[in-house]
Chains A and B, each alone.
Chain A
Amino acid sequence: MNLDYLREKALQEWKEIEDPKIPIITVGSATCGRAAGALEVLSAIKTKLVENNIEARVFEVGCIGMCYGEVIVDVTLPSASSILYHEVNSDIAQKIVEEHISNNKILFNHALGTRSNLKYEGINPFSEHPFFKEQVRIALRNCGIIDPENINHYLANDGYKGLERTLSLKPPEVIEELKKSGLRGRGGGGFPTGMKWDFCYKSNGDKKYIVCNADEGDPGAFMDRSLLEGDPHSVLEGMLIGAYAIGATEGYIYVRAEYPLAIKRLMIAIKQMEAMGLLGSSILNSNFSFKIKIKEGAGAFVCGEETALIASIEGKRGMPRSRPPFPAQKGLWGKPTIINNVETFANVSAIMSKGADWYSSYGTENSKGTKTFALAGKVNHTGLIEVPMGITLNDIIFKVGGGIPNEKIFKAVQTGGPSGGCIPSTKLDLPVDYDSLASVGSIMGSGGMVVMDEETCMVDIARYFLDFTQKESCGKCVPCRLGTKQLLMLLEKITQGNSEIQDLTLLHNLAEKVKSGSLCGLGQTAPNPIITTLKYFKDEYIAHIQDKVCPAKVCKNLIYFKIDADKCKACTICLKACPVTAIKGAVKQVHVIEQDKCIKCGVCLEVCPPKFSAVIKLSGKEESKNE
């Protein structure tokens, strides 16, 4: 089968979208968009179009990354620049049809930018929007732009060019190209991808496997999901290239069962590939044959660890095993196996299409290319971003992220998911790359990035992450199963104000032991939140331990609520809202909180009208009893 012919057809189809004869409307309806109401928006648009008897093409696209601005709708009218709308709901959607599509009246209040690089009727190109300006989208190149369920869209956007080029090379040449690109594993470990492939290529085995790790387990991380939902072919193409390079004939995509849309789109993509001769035997008339199976994971965090993932595919309990032997020597069913992350594969297809030199022009000396992050927490622009390696934390948080909401002060940023480290404000100039992050005790991880402001208690944050890793430990090795339990118990003791200063030494020593003694990455990195917060925020620990105070006023045992008698207008709002009737008082009778009844839920503070601001939160433990 000839891909040139198919691509030509695809390009024609794409031209109808870029330069359409009828209006084109796309709705960002990945899982994140759907949660914000994308499907309602979609049906509102379709209904309105029918009502107004407008012929238009409407299709779903993946996520463009702007979580804070969902739902995103893009409208392209014939011979006009496309306009991107954000924060669209059903009402606005109807207006878009009635005003923009029917009468060519742009809704300026909701317009985010133009798709092209030109200003249009006073609207700036969205690439100049601060959220996008610093971004370089390689892995996410097609997300939010193409229809992920239409292989022609992918083909029209240089899709499978990387594969075509790969098949014209010998496997070692492909590996060499990967090595030259400087790509490192995007799943968290950061091991050079080309080297890993070379290792597997040189391993003897009658059969080899390639596995795509889509078991995205970090809470708040959704890079892989967005990629699979927005552009599955870029990942599948990467897998094919990898399979060819190492000599694998079978591939698995290990994806969380909690990602039904990603699974659905992967299955559609695989069917399309089979129909086009991109999967199966003699792919594109070469002697390369390959097939892909989807394995749904049950959602254990540890199954992201490659040996646990292999066990899980084999039908066993997801438990890591010691390496060596590495999976590249003895992996799935005992055969040489390469496991790469979703984002790694999406980069591979881009590298093989555009070349290693192009790719390595982005990034730093030892960390080439770009990295996607799920930007979350106390930051204005939450969302999925892709930035070149080497960009500073400051640029990510304050330029792309738009700074801290409500004029609060930045305190720390946590990278690398629950087992990453917390980086303080003094390190904001740190370039984001594998080695720099490691130098401050954190990790790149798969790309979680949680911003924290002054209202975040760092001890409580450490406790929160340990609670997660402790529960997600597979239970195999002693330091992880029991060490994280002890660490968590120590942190709970501190946040409850029940600890003594020598507990800090115990905490630190045990954290180091768990790090050095654990079997797999989960246990080896689980203490990172403790080690980094102890390093950068030790004063907060000491405040909890010695002064029995939570400076950020988070830890319940170390705070109390009080009603300022001078400010209370005895409106009874808080009195009625209190779930445990801890507030005494009546109309025209100043309210008082009974401290021994109070469960410190903070509802009174939330409901007290801002014009009164009578409820105050105070730190301390002992004073509360004296009230």
Chain B
Amino acid sequence: MNNVNITINNKKIITRDEDTILKAALREGIYIPNLCYHPTLSPFGACRLCVVEVENMRGYPTSCTTPVQEGMKIKTNTKTLNEIRKTAMELILSEHPQDCLTCVKNQKCELQSLSAYLGINNLSFSRVQKDLPKDLDTPLFFRDLDKCILCGRCVRACQELRGVGAIDFIYRGYDSIVGTKFSKPLRESECRFCTACVEVCPTAALFDKNTLWLPKEEKEKYVVPCTHNCPANIDVPKYVRLVGEGNYTEALAVIREKVPFPATLGRVCFHPCETTCRRQEINTPISIKNLKRVAADKGDWGYWRSKLTKKPATNKSVGIIGSGPAGLTAAYHLLRLGYNVTIFEALPELGGMMRYGIPAYRLPREVLDSEIQEIINLGLQVKTNFKVDNLDSLINEYLAILIAGGAHLGIKLGIDGENLPGVYDCVNFLRDVASGKKLLLGNKVGVIGGGNAAMDTARTALRSGAKSVTVLYRRSQAEMPANPEEIVETEEEGIKIECLTSPVKIVSNGQRLIITCAQMMLGEPDESGRKRPIPIKGCDIDREFDSIILAIGQSSEIPEGWGVSQNRGVIQVNQSTLETTRKGVFAAGDIVLGPASVIEAIAQGRKSASNIDRFLGGTGMIDEIFTISEAPPCQIGRIDNFSDLDRVYPEYEDEHSRINSFIEVQKCLVDDLAHFEGNRCLKCDARLLIEENIFPPESERSYLNEVK
């Protein structure tokens, strides 16, 4: 690379020999109108707006394609050049729809701003219009080819940047358009729906569905929803890609950068990443949770551990109440930051709801134990069977206290007979089963509720000796809060789910419990957005059960002695710091959120650790970097029948051993399927690497100048 001296508009400039005139000019803050040029793409020279005059060069070369040469004398703003530019712009506008005021790109359109910049206020030419049909069927984005100006950015993005080549110019002359081979729908083309084309489009010819134009900082929310919607902000596309490449070790390290429970999450996470995965607009979302499990189960060769850093001891102590995902995550990060951490657990073992709420057939104990052991190994002091009812003594011992007590109280229905013998609540029931207690449920068990806890309860009851289990839920299956996957598994195991059935009262006939249920119908949506169940009068039905387990919700126990304010059953905290009303006392997890999920509790654990560090004089930086922060590859290439590739599913334990023991139900994905699934990813994150489109500088817009 050598320096080259050139002159632009009499200004002497030193630039690099691999530059084009346009690049050199833009770097120097000299704007040359351009439209088909894009900083991330190769130059094209089609729009003819960036023409310049170069001494001793024939004609009007395009500055985007012309390399600089020593001693070049360039003019960018002569009358002739502006005439050529205006003619080109008027020609483009002669076939461009002029519904700017109602266009989705209004005020965000490069064509519009360039037209203003060039001062086009009149069209010399006849209007022409191809009236091409709008493509509204393509997943993720709209195509309005009438608004296409054939700048070819999308074609270059697809061919050069991505190595896909699903689109190209087709037809000739005025009839030229950008399309697919044989004008097939994009779904049937080689398109990989990376939406790089949408990103670079200067007009509204291509625009994202479900969103309007977003500033760069907000773009990630829509463009990479998996990461954005992960409470712990795990870099989902990165580990999915690594699993697809078979690099489980680094994939695990990517997950470990944010959460200390990869194997647990890979089994039990409610995966909001999948719920928002953009691939589902094409067919089915990526099986992200299962890929996480693959990374965790097969990738732990100590790589992440070798990168783990522990700061020097601070001699400051933190006490944590509760050893669920929130408490343990906070402990993990605080230990790394050099604090002395003591965890207090009321139950005999660590893990909170992960151990006492989630049944072992979903989360085997050895998996949980080994992830907890990693945290203990960092120097965690553990006090089990230690219930903290009063903070006063701890306050003196610890500089900060985190309350992460979870939600271990079952909620009652508030109907007659719910305190009869044989009626249990799910929290106690699951805890008892997890602790190894034998319960006499009888043959026929009813479970009230429709959430994940109800599913866990029903399936656990089945494994604890019940012959038949029925779930009663007051709304319809569509409104059930449980994960669809778990509902399917529940039904597969022979458990009946009766919907639109609401308990009215329970009586005992001495031998069995008789539950009277109202039949329901759905009315208008309530404040939760779900349709409100309304009892149908006179249609009550009685059912007989040996035992009934209520699984309609949980709440937290917040002893007075903690001295913290509470509100509606949860501890009141400063939402940005998670500090309670008592100084130095923080709270996280279900006790703040109400009953939520493992990943949300982990996110709270992270947040509380960060804030406790800051409270104790640290920076609050808890993020770890285990993997090289490399950009996702831009070249994604072709995959045959990409749109049709369907989600893969893991194998299941066979039906018989499944319902007769607590053996893990789902198996880990085999390698081939894991690679397949990883490669099914749209690689949405690569879009974020594309540079911003260049707009004319506001200050130079000629209509503004004219007004002045």
**Is there an interface contact between B84 and A516, defined as CB atoms closer than 8 Å?**
yes
Count of B residues near A, CB < 8 Å? 36
- Mask, B144-188, CB within 8 Å of A = 1, is 000000101000000000000000110111111000000000000
Task: Tell me, in angstroms, the Cα distance from A484 to B176 when the chains sit together.
Answer: 13
Quote the shortest CB–CB distance from A342 to chain B (angstroms). 24
Residues from chain B with Cβ under 8 Å of A471 in the complex: 172-174
B475 interface hit (Cβ, 8 Å): no
Residues from chain A with Cβ under 8 Å of B126 in the complex: 486, 489
Beyond A478-B48, A506-B124, whether A484 also contacts B173 by CB under 8 A is yes
- Among B59, B84, B91, B173, max chain A CB count under 10 A is at B173
**Is there an interface contact between A473 and B173, defined as CB atoms closer than 8 Å?**
yes
**Is there an interface contact between B65 and A322, defined as CB atoms closer than 8 Å?**
yes
**Is there an interface contact between A472 and B45, defined as CB atoms closer than 8 Å?**
no
**Is there an interface contact between B169 and A476, defined as CB atoms closer than 8 Å?**
yes
Beyond A321-B65, A482-B91, A486-B126, whether A475 also contacts B173 by CB under 8 A is yes
B7 interface hit (Cβ, 8 Å): no
Residues from chain A with Cβ under 8 Å of B338 in the complex: none
Task: Tell me, in angstroms, the Cα distance from A265 to B381 when the chains sit together.
Answer: 90
Beyond A325-B67, A489-B126, whether A481 also contacts B176 by CB under 8 A is yes
Quote the shortest CB–CB distance from B33 to chain A (angstroms). 12
Beyond A478-B48, A479-B48, A486-B126, whether A324 also contacts B67 by CB under 8 A is yes
Quote the shortest CB–CB distance from A326 to chain B (angstroms). 11
Which chain B residue has the least Cβ–Cβ distance from A482? Answer: B91
Beyond A322-B66, A510-B87, A517-B51, whether A476 also contacts B150 by CB under 8 A is yes
Beyond A479-B91, A482-B94, A513-B83, whether A519 also contacts B60 by CB under 8 A is no
- Mask, B49-90, CB within 8 Å of A = 1, is 001000000011110011100000000000000011001100
Task: Tell me, in angstroms, the Cα distance from A468 to B88 when the chains sit together.
Answer: 21
Which chain B residue has the least Cβ–Cβ distance from A524? Answer: B59
**Is there an interface contact between B174 and A481, defined as CB atoms closer than 8 Å?**
yes
**Is there an interface contact between A482 and B92, defined as CB atoms closer than 8 Å?**
yes
**Is there an interface contact between B173 and A472, defined as CB atoms closer than 8 Å?**
yes
A202 interface hit (Cβ, 8 Å): no
B95 interface hit (Cβ, 8 Å): yes
**Is there an interface contact between A485 and B46, defined as CB atoms closer than 8 Å?**
no
Which chain A residue has the least Cβ–Cβ distance from B178? Answer: A475
A448 interface hit (Cβ, 8 Å): no
Residues from chain A with Cβ under 8 Å of B175 in the complex: 475
B47 interface hit (Cβ, 8 Å): yes
**Is there an interface contact between A513 and B87, defined as CB atoms closer than 8 Å?**
yes
Task: Tell me, in angstroms, the Cα distance from A322 to B67 when the chains sit together.
Answer: 11
**Is there an interface contact between B173 and A477, defined as CB atoms closer than 8 Å?**
no
Task: Tell me, in angstroms, the Cα distance from A506 to B125 when the chains sit together.
Answer: 9
Interface residues on A, range: 20 to 34
**Is there an interface contact between A472 and B48, defined as CB atoms closer than 8 Å?**
no
**Is there an interface contact between B128 and A519, defined as CB atoms closer than 8 Å?**
no
**Is there an interface contact between A486 and B91, defined as CB atoms closer than 8 Å?**
yes
Residues from chain B with Cβ under 8 Å of A483 in the complex: 87, 91
Task: Tell me, in angstroms, the Cα distance from A489 to B51 when the chains sit together.
Answer: 26
Beyond A317-B169, A486-B94, A516-B59, whether A478 also contacts B46 by CB under 8 A is yes
Beyond A317-B168, A485-B174, A516-B59, whether A478 also contacts B124 by CB under 8 A is no
Residues from chain A with Cβ under 8 Å of B45 in the complex: 321-322, 477, 519
Quote the shortest CB–CB distance from A510 to chain B (angstroms). 7
A404 interface hit (Cβ, 8 Å): no
Task: Tell me, in angstroms, the Cα distance from A154 to B94 when the chains sit together.
Answer: 57
Residues from chain A with Cβ under 8 Å of B51 in the complex: 517
Residues from chain B with Cβ under 8 Å of A482 in the complex: 91-92, 94-95, 174
A300 interface hit (Cβ, 8 Å): yes
A470 interface hit (Cβ, 8 Å): yes
A49 interface hit (Cβ, 8 Å): no
The majority secondary structure among interface residues of chain A is: helix
**Is there an interface contact between A479 and B87, defined as CB atoms closer than 8 Å?**
yes
Which chain A residue has the least Cβ–Cβ distance from B42? Answer: A321
Task: Tell me, in angstroms, the Cα distance from A484 to B87 when the chains sit together.
Answer: 12
**Is there an interface contact between A474 and B172, defined as CB atoms closer than 8 Å?**
yes
Residues from chain B with Cβ under 8 Å of A84 in the complex: none
**Is there an interface contact between A485 and B128, defined as CB atoms closer than 8 Å?**
yes
Quote the shortest CB–CB distance from B82 to chain A (angstroms). 12
Task: Tell me, in angstroms, the Cα distance from A477 to B150 when the chains sit together.
Answer: 9
Residues from chain A with Cβ under 8 Å of B172 in the complex: 300, 302, 471-475
Quote the shortest CB–CB distance from A133 to chain B (angstroms). 40
Task: Tell me, in angstroms, the Cα distance from A513 to B87 when the chains sit together.
Answer: 7
Quote the shortest CB–CB distance from A59 to chain B (angstroms). 41
Task: Tell me, in angstroms, the Cα distance from A471 to B94 when the chains sit together.
Answer: 18
**Is there an interface contact between B67 and A478, defined as CB atoms closer than 8 Å?**
no
Residues from chain A with Cβ under 8 Å of B62 in the complex: 322, 519
- Mask, B632-646, CB within 8 Å of A = 1, is 000000000000000
Task: Tell me, in angstroms, the Cα distance from A471 to B173 when the chains sit together.
Answer: 5
A174 interface hit (Cβ, 8 Å): no
**Is there an interface contact between B60 and A517, defined as CB atoms closer than 8 Å?**
yes
Residues from chain A with Cβ under 8 Å of B66 in the complex: 322, 324
A residues 38-63 in Cβ contact with B at 8 Å: none
Residues from chain A with Cβ under 8 Å of B67 in the complex: 324-325
Residues from chain B with Cβ under 8 Å of A506 in the complex: 124-125
Residues from chain A with Cβ under 8 Å of B43 in the complex: 322
Report which of A319, A477, A484 forms a contact with B48, defined as CB distance below 8 A.
A477
Residues from chain B with Cβ under 8 Å of A325 in the complex: 67
Which chain B residue has the least Cβ–Cβ distance from A468? Answer: B173
- Mask, A431-475, CB within 8 Å of B = 1, is 000000000000000000000000000000000000000111111
Quote the shortest CB–CB distance from A480 to chain B (angstroms). 9
Residues from chain A with Cβ under 8 Å of B87 in the complex: 479, 483, 510, 513, 517
Beyond A322-B45, A478-B91, A479-B87, whether A516 also contacts B60 by CB under 8 A is yes
Quote the shortest CB–CB distance from B90 to chain A (angstroms). 9
Task: Tell me, in angstroms, the Cα distance from A321 to B43 when the chains sit together.
Answer: 9
Quote the shortest CB–CB distance from A125 to chain B (angstroms). 47
Task: Tell me, in angstroms, the Cα distance from A477 to B51 when the chains sit together.
Answer: 12
Quote the shortest CB–CB distance from A436 to chain B (angstroms). 20
B residues 90-134 in Cβ contact with A at 8 Å: 91-92, 94-95, 124-126, 128
Report which of B46, B84, B171 forms a contact with A519, defined as CB distance below 8 A.
B46
Residues from chain B with Cβ under 8 Å of A519 in the complex: 45-46, 48, 62
Beyond A476-B150, A479-B88, whether A322 also contacts B173 by CB under 8 A is no
**Is there an interface contact between A478 and B152, defined as CB atoms closer than 8 Å?**
no
Residues from chain B with Cβ under 8 Å of A302 in the complex: 172
Residues from chain B with Cβ under 8 Å of A518 in the complex: 48
Pull 6 A–B residue pairs with CB atoms less than 8 Å apart, ordered by A.
Answer: A321-B44, A470-B173, A473-B174, A477-B45, A485-B174, A517-B48
What 18 additional pairs, Cβ within 8 angstroms, besides A485-B128, A486-B94?
A321-B45, A322-B62, A322-B66, A470-B174, A471-B173, A471-B174, A475-B150, A476-B176, A477-B45, A477-B46, A478-B48, A479-B87, A482-B91, A482-B95, A485-B174, A489-B128, A506-B124, A519-B48
The 10 closest A-B pairs by CB, nearest first: A475-B176, A322-B65, A322-B45, A482-B91, A485-B174, A513-B87, A473-B173, A471-B173, A478-B88, A476-B46
Question: Which B positions have Cβ atoms within 8 angstroms of A?
Answer: 43-48, 51, 59-62, 65-67, 83-84, 87-88, 91-92, 94-95, 124-126, 128, 150, 152, 168-169, 171-176
Question: Which A positions have Cβ atoms within 8 angstroms of B?
Answer: 300, 302, 317, 319, 321-322, 324-325, 470-479, 481-486, 489, 506, 510, 513, 516-519, 524
